[in-house]
Amino acid sequence: MSSVKNMIDEGRTAIGIELGSTRIKACMIDEAHNVIASGSFSWENRFENGVWTYGLSEIEEGIRSCYKSLTEDVAAKYGTVIKKTGSIGISGMMHGYMAFDAGWNLLAPFRTWRNTITGDEAQELSEAFGFNIPQRWSIAHLYHAVKGGEEHVKRLVHLTTLAGYIHYRLSGENVLGIGEASGMFPIDSAAGTYDAGMMAKYDDLTGCFPKKLAELLPAVKKAGEGAGVLTAAGAAFLDESGVLQAGALMAPPEGDAGTGMVATNALRACTGNVSAGTSDFAMVVLDKPIATHMEIDMVTTPTGLPVAMVHCNNCTSDINAWAGLFAQFAGAFGMNISTGDLFTKLFTMAQEGAKDGGGLIPVNYISGESITGFDEGRPLFIRQGAGIGLADFMRANLMSAIATLGIGMRILADEGVKITSLTGHGGYFKTGTVGASLLSAACVSPVTLMETAGEGGPYGMALLAGYAAWKKGGESLEDYLDAKVFADAKKITVNASAEDVDGFKAFLAKYEKALKVERAAVEVL
């Protein structure tokens, strides 16, 4: 305890903060890459005036509250305060639209990744570029605003992401990590920056209005490159107590996809990871090019390698809603069941359910889903037959949560994409190996869970911050993680049985048919 306290007092630590969909989380690691403190702040997006958003004041107050929670954890565990740290990294939910004027005043409400309002623009850009542009990408939102003649566009000077904005507030530097940047605009991996040819095509489409695209987008940095330092103004912004000192090295801000790759050590070719929580997405590092698919996004690792991304807007939100109903039922009978115990019991019961869900077909679309062509969602529960068993119910809901991901992964399998290891992380995997077993059945691949992967994105961002400060010479991120972080990592690998694989395939076939019912529900309800 005293040695950790000394590290904290001397600033021999790294801090990662990630602004996720339902929580802002902070993680502090020591020089041995052990997690020594954490903090969090809970929040939720809102649907206002046709867009999913978080208010700017919520964003700023949320990150301060999260950092305060981290300092309280440090005080409780080690009896000290955080006066300085060696490095800081900011991560956030990728994509979306944050538009600012010359003075960094927000011009329009923040539009998150969850919005599916840019279908026409995404399709037009995809055709112009010969490259898949998903609806949630920043360039699709920008083109939507330009084509729609939105008043604020003529005053637009800076376009960035949530992580990029907080990084700017802390450092005064308008930069993004290359993985985060790849969710704004296509990247040329060889050049290590935005694709120049596609930028020229965009400028032609818009007549360079309001500016050339190169003038609007943040500069691009790879992992380990300098991205500024914590300024005095940035320290005061983050730590309202005034204790935190300026001077910490700032790592390039990365998206939650990139931090997930780092947290699971899935950065080399043919490795992959699946993050499953409010949304779910798979990241597979490619060893060869693949054809363009509208269901598959092409992004990069934090070092710039090409990655096939299968991104789904909906994962566990519908499960959480049902769990909340069960908690209310228990409360009505005077039973106080903790959230952890409730989810453990429900997930465990799913193992006893029929392999194909027993004729129960939940469709978990809280919001739209681009992979299957939905701009809006309506959660549905369909049953074939009279009975409902809780075990079948939970297994069907757990399979529904990753069904759309399974559709995308099937495309990669058909392309012959090689995956030597697939690591799971996020809330879906926190209850034993139930989630890993179902994912293995969906992807027909072994799935590994790592002890540290439970720390998730903020841990991955803390590792990127540590790498920026502690790497030796030209040491690559991949070598750094292999040798210094994950050499002795504890792992569990799960391989679904043939019966589980067949059961998931049978469920998925019914799920895809049920999407016709989902489409009707969107139209009439």
Strands (E), 132-218: 158-160, 175-177, 187-188, 193-194
Quick one: pLDDT at residue 116? Answer: 84
Quick one: pLDDT at residue 191? Answer: 95
- The per-residue DSSP string of 203-236 comes to HHHHTT-SS-HHHHSPEEE-TTS---B--HHHHH
| pTM greater than 0.85 (yes/no) | yes
HSE (CB half, 13 Å, CA atoms) of 308? 28
Q: Is the dihedral of CA 250, 159, 119, 200 positive or negative?
A: negative
Q: Rounded to 5 degrees, what are φ and ψ at 194?
A: -60, 150
Quick one: pLDDT at residue 456? Answer: 74
List beta partners, residue 502: none
Strands (E), 336-451: 360-363, 380-383, 421-425, 447-450
Strands (E), 384-507: 421-425, 447-450, 491-494
Q: Is the dihedral of CA 286, 290, 296, 300 positive or negative?
A: positive
Q: Which of 93, 95, 299, 292 is nearest to 182 (CA)?
A: 299
Q: How far apart are CA 260 and CA 274, in angstroms?
A: 8
Q: Do residues 391 and 350 lie in contact, with contact meaning Cβ atoms separated by under 8 Å?
A: yes
My answer on whether omega of the bond before 210 falls inside 30° of 0, hence cis, is yes
Distances 428 to 40, 347, 353, 453 between C-alpha atoms, Å: 19, 9, 17, 12
* Residue 111 DSSP class: B
Which conformational region is residue 104 in: left (phi greater than 0), alpha (psi within -120 to 50 degrees), or beta?
A: left
Quick one: pLDDT at residue 425? Answer: 86
Quick one: pLDDT at residue 455? Answer: 62
In the chain, what are the domain boundaries? 317-401+501-524
User: Mind listing the pLDDT tens digit for each residue in 65-87?
Assistant: 999 999 999 999 999 999 999 99
Q: What is the full per-residue pLDDT of the chain (525 aa) written as tens digits?
A: 779 999 999 999 999 999 998 899 999 999 999 999 999 999 999 999 999 999 999 999 999 999 999 999 999 999 999 999 999 999 999 999 999 999 999 999 999 988 889 999 999 999 999 999 999 999 999 999 999 999 999 999 999 999 999 999 999 999 999 999 999 999 999 999 999 999 999 999 999 999 999 999 999 999 999 899 999 999 999 999 999 999 999 999 999 989 989 999 999 999 999 989 888 989 999 999 999 998 999 999 999 999 999 999 999 999 999 999 999 999 999 999 999 999 999 999 999 999 999 999 999 999 999 899 998 999 999 999 878 999 999 999 999 999 999 999 999 999 999 999 899 988 899 888 999 999 999 999 999 998 765 567 899 999 999 999 999 989 999 999 999 999 988 899 999 999 999 999 999 999 999 999 999 999 999
User: Mind listing the pLDDT tens digit for each residue in 42-66?
Assistant: 999 999 999 999 999 999 999 999 9
Q: How far apart are CA 401 and CA 406, in angstroms?
A: 10
